[in-house]
Structure 1
Amino acid sequence: MAVDGVHLLEHIQTPAIVVARGQVVFANAAAKTLLGAHILGQDVRIAIRDPRAVAVILGEGGGNAKVSGLSVGSSVWEVDCKVLGVGERLVTLYDLSVQVSTARAHADFVANASHELRTPLATVLGYVETLMNPKAGGDETTRERFLNTIRHEALRMQSLISDLMSLSRIEAVKHEVPSEKIEMVALAREVAGEFRSENSVAVSANCDVAVVLGDRGQLAQVMRNLMDNALKYGRKEAPVQVALEATPTGWLLVTVHDDGDGIAPEHLPRLTERFYRADTSRSRAAGGTGLGLSIVKHIVERHRGRFDIASRQGAGTTASMMLPLRKD
């Protein structure tokens, strides 16, 4: 390969190697970072330990192959081989991990959403068919019980569709930094007032005013979701504690604490995954869609903040978010 070509390859970010007579004779910085500096002078079958990739590289006409695990176990790479001359090959490596992960997440999301909708829909259809039977439909007690179940399942589907639409709207604007001035102490107290008919929600703050740049509707949704969760899973006689703390470092810490049973440690890393539930039966009975914390995480990330959940079994759960305070 010409010297100018080698010089050019050295400065591209895509991993590239040149193979001559089965040995690696050149590797740019990106390739050395990926495969290790020791690959220079090494047999390509040892440098890239994948039979499909090796078959393409050592074959007659070049080509490409998709391989797994070149960087980490879950990574996916495309190996592209071009024939430069007799026994000489240019091999470039393209990381497909993000695309593959996104496609897998999309497929999982569609499958989960379909399952979540199919279950209540099947219940509704089953009860409707029963009510259409004159014997069952003519009994007032049975009819009322079945209609209450149908209403519950219909409301559950309505909530799920509403949350799915919320996620879609949030993802559509996730790269747009919100710029409206939002006073969070007043917002927290306003949202807490929506739950007066249920267990009380106590709001405290170390400041009178805490202004962030944000989307008021989305931040209200975050507060609403976190308070609603705390009320569902906390002890009935214990109020939910909401605290806002403006820190000297320019952040606003918002915590929502309940005195419920807590969450087992193995569930904590997955709580913000779509449709993940630590307690499936209890969540569905309480009307949960499995999307609330995923929505919270997406909104907080859009606001350039951080979200976390801490819990200890028997000692309750604390959801916390950090938002950057507006600089005057």
Structure 2
Amino acid sequence: MADTGGAEQRSTAQAVVIRLWNSRWLLAAGIVAVLTVYGFADMSGYVVLLACAVLLFAAAMLPASVARQSAEDAAAIEAGGLQQLSGEYLAAAVADPLIIFDRTATIVHANAAAFAAFGGIAPGISLSLKFRAPEMQALLDSILSGAAASDVVDYTEKLPVERAYRVSASSVGHGTDLYVLVFKDQSEARRIDRMRADFIANASHELRTPLASISGFIETLRGPARNDPAAREQFLQIMQNQTGRMARLIDDLLSLSRLEMKPYLKPGTEVDLRQTLDSVIDSLGPLARENGVAIERDFAEGPLDVPGDRDELFQVFENLLENACKYGQSGGRVVVTIAHRDDGPEPGIDVTIRDFGPGIPEEHIPRITERFYRVDVENSRTQKGTGLGLSIVKHILTRHNARLSIKSEVGNGAAFTVHLPAH
């Protein structure tokens, strides 16, 4: 407490001195005026000038001493504050897993994030036994041997789930014989990079296939089929189909890109689901008739409004209904249901599109919304699918704070349900 009071008094004194320094010219002028007016006029001018010079010199020296004292006080306050913080408190404030160990690679302390990430770690446990990966052993050897003051490696934890970390190691302080490991989780960044690489590879493959076909047909038309009208007509039709497929793929890629650039959709306008689904069913009527599928409606009574963007929700239901008509055509019918949901924590509306086709094997359901993922590649291409429809559906629903659930049984069709919030 005495130190604090002294610091406060020094701060007050410093403020006074600074105010005097800021008014130094006015003070000098005042002194000269007083000397001149009140009886010191007979004094030598050199004496007056000497007095002013002394005053100005003292004022010039004061700021330097004040600055030095201020810096010393700040350093003392900072040192006192840091001394009151223990290493345990500092480690707890770090969000990443952090482990402090000694020269024998024995754990001295681990924060809560480290316990949550790795489990089974406690003071006294050997790091060499806990992390047996070669890269971790090399990191510990490098730091403990003094070969490097700090070092960084990439480490992958396999269990209970695979996580990728960038691990940095360094000494703590000077002469403490303590060292620290900090684990920066890179799993999400690695997943995004892998997904981006897969996306580019898949998109390139999807575009290369029709381009190769078109190139081959052009070569044939310029050679063996040059004078064969029937073959020329057949090849031109195939080329038209392939260019149409590439155009659909590019449109879907652009749709995905636009969706990813848009922020989360805040509820604003209301969308009438009854009217929207009626429009979707009417627009896909010719496709349903072409595939021999009857579309049935089962809509709940009353208002069926949800917050959202009508065009985007139209795209969601159009994708789902089109898939049901194409891939579930063997069932002969598709049922579109709108129902109120009152059993959850928040009220909402569920839209279910159910077909009675061959269904989807259970192992495919978790991955069916991935980009370019197909249950049956040949059937999908026959139906002019791009492999991006359900990925677009997922992105739109995420923007609407909604979700998609899929239930299917092989031989009994599939049901895709969109769960939309009512407010």
TM-score by length of 1: 0.94
Aligned: 1:147 with 2:243: no
Q: How does 1:253-264 map to 2 (within 5 A)?
A: 253-264=350-361
Give 1:223 deviation, angstroms: 0.6
Q: Determine which of 328, 335, 343 is the counterpart of 1:234.
A: 328
Letter in 2 for 1:124: I
Q: Determine which of 107, 117, 121 is the counterpart of 1:24.
A: 107
Name the CA distance, whole Å, in 1 between partners of 2:201 and 2:319: 24
Match of 2:277 in 1: 188
Q: In proportion to residue count, which structure has more helix?
A: 2
Name the CA distance, whole Å, in 2 between partners of 1:284 and 1:261: 17
Give 1:209 deviation, angstroms: 2.2
Q: How does 1:5-16 map to 2 (within 5 A)?
A: 5-16=87-98
CA contact (8 A) 2:265 2:308 kept: no
Give 1:115 deviation, angstroms: 0.4
Match of 2:135 in 1: 52
CA contact (8 A) 1:195 1:201 kept: no
Match of 1:158 in 2: 247
Secondary structure class of the residue paired with 2:375 = coil
Q: How does 1:1-328 map to 2 (within 5 A)?
A: 4-21=86-103, 22-36=105-119, 38-59=121-142, 60=146, 61=148, 62-69=150-157, 72-84=160-172, 85-86=174-175, 87-133=177-223, 135-199=224-288, 200-235=294-329, 238-249=332-343, 250-326=347-423
Change (3 A) 1:10 1:148: same
Match of 2:43 in 1: none
CA offsets 1:204-250 (integer angstroms, 9 cap, x no match) = 21124211111111100001000100010123672321110012251
Give 1:108 deviation, angstroms: 0.5
Give 1:258 deviation, angstroms: 1.1
Secondary structure class of the residue paired with 1:157 = helix
Give 1:253 deviation, angstroms: 0.6
Change (3 A) 1:150 1:215: same
Name the CA distance, whole Å, in 2 between partners of 1:92 and 1:27: 10
Secondary structure class of the residue paired with 1:92 = strand
Letter in 2 for 1:147: L
Q: In proportion to residue count, which structure has more strand?
A: 1
CA contact (8 A) 1:245 1:254 kept: yes
Letter in 2 for 1:241: V
Secondary structure class of the residue paired with 2:107 = strand
Letter in 1 for 2:310: R
Match of 2:7 in 1: none
Identity of aligned residues (%): 35
Letter in 1 for 2:208: R
CA offsets 1:249-272 (integer angstroms, 9 cap, x no match) = 511110001111112222112111
Name the CA distance, whole Å, in 2 between partners of 1:30 and 1:57: 20
Query: Over aligned residue pairs, what C-alpha RMSD do you find?
Result: 1.9
Letter in 1 for 2:155: V
Secondary structure class of the residue paired with 1:7 = helix
Give 1:112 deviation, angstroms: 0.5
Name the CA distance, whole Å, in 2 between partners of 1:294 and 1:69: 30
Match of 2:5 in 1: none
Name the CA distance, whole Å, in 2 between partners of 1:92 and 1:70: 18
Change (3 A) 1:156 1:19: same
Give 1:178 deviation, angstroms: 4.7
Name the CA distance, whole Å, in 1 between partners of 2:408 and 2:391: 17
Give 1:174 deviation, angstroms: 4.6
Structure 2, gaps ≥5 residues long: 1-81, 289-293
Using CA pairs below 8 Å that are at least 6 residues apart, which structure has the higher relative contact order?
A: 1
CA contact (8 A) 2:330 2:356 kept: no
Structure 1, gaps ≥5 residues long: none
Name the CA distance, whole Å, in 2 between partners of 1:181 and 1:236: 36
Secondary structure class of the residue paired with 1:314 = coil
Q: Does 305-314 or 90-99 show the bigger shift? A: 305-314
Name the CA distance, whole Å, in 2 between partners of 1:220 and 1:107: 30
Query: Radius of gyration: which is bigger?
Result: 2
Secondary structure class of the residue paired with 2:285 = coil
Name the CA distance, whole Å, in 1 between partners of 2:109 and 2:330: 68
CA offsets 1:55-113 (integer angstroms, 9 cap, x no match) = 22332223011000166442101110112245421111110000001100100010001
Name the CA distance, whole Å, in 2 between partners of 1:17 and 1:253: 48
TM-score by length of 2: 0.73
Change (3 A) 1:119 1:126: same
Name the CA distance, whole Å, in 2 between partners of 1:36 and 1:283: 45
Letter in 1 for 2:157: G
